Amino acid sequence: MNPPAPIIFSGIQPTGRKHLGNYIGAIRQYVEGQDRGDPAIFCVVDLHSISVAYDPADLRERVLDTAAILLAAGLDPERCVFFRQSDVAAHTEMTWLLSAVTSHGDLNRMTQFKEKSGSARDLASAALFYYPVLMAADVLAYRATEVPVGDDQRQHVELMREVARRFNERFGETLVVPDLVIPEIGARIMDLQEPATKMSTTGGTESGTVLVLDEPDVIRKKLGSAVTDSGREVRRAPDKAGITNLIDILAVARGVDQTAIEAEFEGAGYGDFKQAVAEGVVELLAPVQARYAELRGDAAGLERVLAVGAEKARAIAAPVVADVRDRMGF
C-alpha cells in the first residue's frame, strides 16, 4: 500500500528581489513538489515583511513581482494552492493562539532575530521577535506534513515542530508535526564575493548576488569575478569555499551530481570553469526571465490568481483553526 501523498506548505517573502539562492533553494522545490503534494500550498508571506522597516506602496509592488517570478518559474495555480498570506486571516489568528504554547526563551534563542536586530535589539519590532510564531501558524494551520525551505530556516522549522508537540500534549492531538525538507544540492548558495556568507539581497554584496532577473551579461560578469582561491583544482574542500559554491551552482543548473562537475573540469583552469558556470546559470534562468516579462505586465491577472488561491487556502485552514479554538476552550 502506497503512503499518503504529503501536504506541502512553504512561503516566500516579497522582501527585495529574488536571487539565485532563492531560486535554487526554494522556488525549484516548490515547482517540483506541486504534483507530489495533496495539496501543495505556497504563499507570498507579506505579513512577515512588516517585521522590518518597509514602504506600503513598495510592498504591494513586490508582492506582484514575487508572484510573477514564482509563476514564471513553473508554479501552476491549477496544480497547487498559491496565494497572498495577508488575504487569509487564519494566519494571524493562529499566531495568537499558538503564542500560548511558545516560550519567550525559545524566541530569544532564534539566530535570525539576533542577526536581523543586530546591536539595536531593544529597538527591533515585536513583529521581528514574533516572526517564528507566525511562521509556525503559516504551516500548522494547514496540517502540512512537509516544509520545503532553505537550510537557513532549519531553526524556525524545529521550533514549529516543538510548538505543535506542545499544543498536542496540552490540548490533545490536533496539529501535525511537519517534516523539514531541504534540497540535497544547493540548500545554501553563498555570496560570490564572500563565500562564507549566504547569498542575500539585504545582507550580501551586490556583485556577489545573482538576481533571477539579471541580464545574461550581468550574470556572466558576476560569475566571472567570483572569488575562488590561490589554487587551480576544481574540487570541493573546506578551504575552497568559493569553488565549492560554484560547483554546487553548476551541478544544479545542469541537473547532475557535484562529482560529475569535478570530473569534467579536472585539469582545467578556473577561467574555463567560471565561464561554464555562467553559461549554465544564464541557460537555467532564461525561460523564467522570458515568462516573467509576460506575466508582470498583467497586474490584474496576478491579483486574480492570488484571490482564487486565497479562497482555496481559507477553505483548508478554517476547519483547523476551528479545531484549535475548540481544544483551547473557545
Tens digit of each residue's pLDDT (9 = 90 or more) over 44-82: 999 999 988 889 999 999 999 999 999 999 999 999 999
Q: Is the dihedral of CA 170, 101, 87, 294 positive or negative?
A: negative
- Residue 204, domain member (yes or no): no
Dihedral-angle region of residue 276 (phi above 0 means left; psi in -120 to 50 means alpha; beta otherwise) = alpha
Domain assignment of residue 140, given as a range: 8-187+299-328
For 238, phi then psi, to 5°, come to -60, -30
Contact 80, 115 (CB under 8 A): no
CATH number for the domain harbouring residue 72 = 3.40.50.620
Q: What share of the chain is helix, strand, coil (3-state, %, to 5)?
A: 60, 5, 35
Place of cell 507530489: 36
Write down the pLDDT at residue 113.
65
- Residue 171, domain member (yes or no): yes
Q: Are residues 56 and 162 in the same domain?
A: yes
pLDDT digits (tens, 9 = 90+) for 256-314: 999 999 999 988 888 899 999 999 999 999 999 999 999 999 999 999 999 999 999 99
Write down the pLDDT at residue 118.
63
| pTM score | 0.89
Q: Can you tell me the distance from the alpha carbon of 110 to that of 127, in angstroms, rounded to the nearest whole number?
A: 13
Q: Are residues 157 and 271 in the same domain?
A: no
Q: Are residues 244 and 143 in the same domain?
A: no
Ranges under pLDDT 50 in the chain: none
Q: Are residues 179 and 231 in the same domain?
A: no
Write down the pLDDT at residue 230.
78
Q: Are residues 32 and 110 in the same domain?
A: yes
